[in-house]
Amino acid sequence: MYSFEMHKATSVANAAALLAQSGGKALAGGQSLIAAMKLRLAQPGALVDLSGIAELKGIRKEGDAVVIGAMTRHAEVASSKVVTDAIPALAALAEGIGDRQVRNMGTLGGALANNDPAACYPAAVLALNGTVHTNKRQIAADAFFKGMYETALEEGELITSVSFPIPKKAAYIKFVQPASRFALVGVFVAQTAGGVRVAVTGGASSVFRAKALEDALGKAFTNDAARAVKMDAAGLNSDLHGSAAYRAHLIPVLAGRAVMAAG
């Protein structure tokens, strides 16, 4: 690890000021950033630690949505009664991220800002048609995820919370890459007020919506309907652990399993 300065922010405004002043990076749970720094793959001159900011934490129900603070840990989401009652699929997703240590440190906001192409949370935000709240604005899920490790967040913009509209039904099925246990392909299926939404993570350079599956499941919310969809392998990832064709095959299979799990 290269040496760096560490700042502890006391409020969102203070964090923004410290980031602007230091030119550093925001530190949420650090489960990707600290590992990259230890490998000398990331070299921020300064870190601004968000863990002491009370306003970024917590889970609450607001009308027809569950709102989760950006610095809420995965383990807190997984065990939250609010989440397990309203959107059990989201709690189950959080319970399946990384390992126990990662879940006790990693945060919702950190995962979304990082937008790892194989991360779980982006699939939930996109499929549930969530809204990302920042210190500057609100960003709809469909406009948030821009590409590999790329989001709509601007310089100095911090996620403060995410609101998840409560779906009629939802489930997430993660097919793990055997080594990393990230999603080789993860499919989140949700019956929302605006229709069926299907988000796929791990399949391409960034999370995406599978429109063909959404159309098919909009007509019949069944395993068979999902399995009948043929996904195009073009544009999907291909690596040691799975070809694009394999991923294209897995997406409808997992979507079908998600439909069955959603009940």
Partner 1 sequence: MGATEPGVIGQSVRRKEDLRFITGAGQYTDDINMARQTAGVFLRSPHAHANIRSIDLTKAKAAPGVVAIFTGADLTGVNGLPCGWLITGTDGKPMNEPPHPVLAQGKVRYVGDQVALVIAETQNQAKDAAELIDVDYEVLPAVVNCVDALKAGAPEIHEQAPGNKCYLWALGDKAAVDAAFAKAAHVSKLDIINNRLVPNAIEPRCALASYDRAADAYTLYVSNQNPHVERLLMTAFVLGLPETKVRVIAPDVGGGFGSKIYLYGEETAMVWASKRVNRPIKWAADRSEAFVSDAHGRDHVTHAELAMDKDGKFLAMRVMTNANMGAYLSTFASCIPTILYATLLAGQYTTPAIYVEVTASFTNTAPVDAYRGAGRPEATFVVERLVHQAAVDMKLPQDEIRRRNFIRTFPYATPVALTYDIGNYDATLDGANELADVKGYAARKADSTRRGKLRGIGYASYIEACGLAPSNVAGALGARAGLFEAGEVRVNPTGSVTVFTGSHSHGQGHETTFAQIVAGRLGIDIANVDVVHGDTGRVPFGMGTYGSRSLSVGGTAIVKALDKVIAKGKKIAAHLLEAAEGDIEFKDGKFTVAGTDRSKAFAEVSLAAYVPHNYPLDKLEPGLDETAFYDPTNFTYPAGTHIAEVEIDPDTGVVTVAAFTAVDDFGNIINPMIVEGQVHGGVAQGIGQALLEHCVYDPESGQLLTGSYMDYAMPRADDLPSFKVGTRVTPCTHNPLGAKGCGEAGAIGAPAAIMNAVHDALSAVGVTRIDMPASPHRVWKAIQSAKA
- Least Å distance, CB 218 to partner 1, is 23
Can residue 246 be called a binding residue for partner 1 (CB under 8 A)? Answer: yes
- Amino acid present at 123: A
Alpha-carbon span 196 to 212, nearest angstrom: 11
Contacts for 246 with CB less than 8 Å, ≥ 6 apart: none
Q: Which of 10, 85, 180, 224 contacts partner 1 by CB under 8 A? A: 180
Which 12-41 residues touch partner 1, going by CB under 8 A?
39-40
Taking CA atoms, 132 is separated from 84, 87, 152, 228, in Å, by 20, 17, 10, 33
Nearer to partner 1, 138 or 180 (CB): 180
Nearer to partner 1, 234 or 240 (CB): 240
Which 189-228 residues touch partner 1, going by CB under 8 A?
none
Can residue 4 be called a binding residue for partner 1 (CB under 8 A)? Answer: no
For helices 244-262 and 211-219, the axis angle rounded to 10 degrees is: 30
Can residue 241 be called a binding residue for partner 1 (CB under 8 A)? Answer: yes
Q: Which of 33, 200, 250, 259 contacts partner 1 by CB under 8 A? A: 250
**203, 234, 201, 230: which is closest to 215 by C-alpha?**
230
Q: Which of 63, 178, 194, 263 contacts partner 1 by CB under 8 A? A: 178
Q: What DSSP letter does each residue of 140-172 carry, written as one string?
A: EHHHHEEETTEESPPTT--EEEEEEEPPSEEEE
Q: What DSSP letter does each residue of 22-54 carry, written as one string?
A: H--EEESS-TTHHHHHHTTS---SEEEE-TT-G
Alpha-carbon span 190 to 185, nearest angstrom: 17
Q: Which of 62, 155, 179, 194 contacts partner 1 by CB under 8 A? A: 179
Which 138-177 residues touch partner 1, going by CB under 8 A?
175
199 DSSP assignment: E
**Span interacting with partner 1, options 20-28, 58-66, 109-117, 240-248, rule CB under 8 A:** 240-248
Can residue 100 be called a binding residue for partner 1 (CB under 8 A)? Answer: no
- Least Å distance, CB 243 to partner 1, is 7
**31, 13, 32: which is closest to 21 by C-alpha?**
13
Question: Residues in the chain, how many?
Answer: 263
What residues does 140 pair with on adjacent strands?
A: 131
- Least Å distance, CB 1 to partner 1, is 7
Nearer to partner 1, 10 or 101 (CB): 101
- Interface pattern 39-58 for partner 1 (x via CB under 8 A): xx------------------
Is 231 in a helix, a strand, or coil?
Answer: coil
Can residue 1 be called a binding residue for partner 1 (CB under 8 A)? Answer: yes
By CB under 8 A, name the binding residues for partner 1: 1-3, 39-40, 175, 178-180, 182, 240-243, 246, 249-250, 253
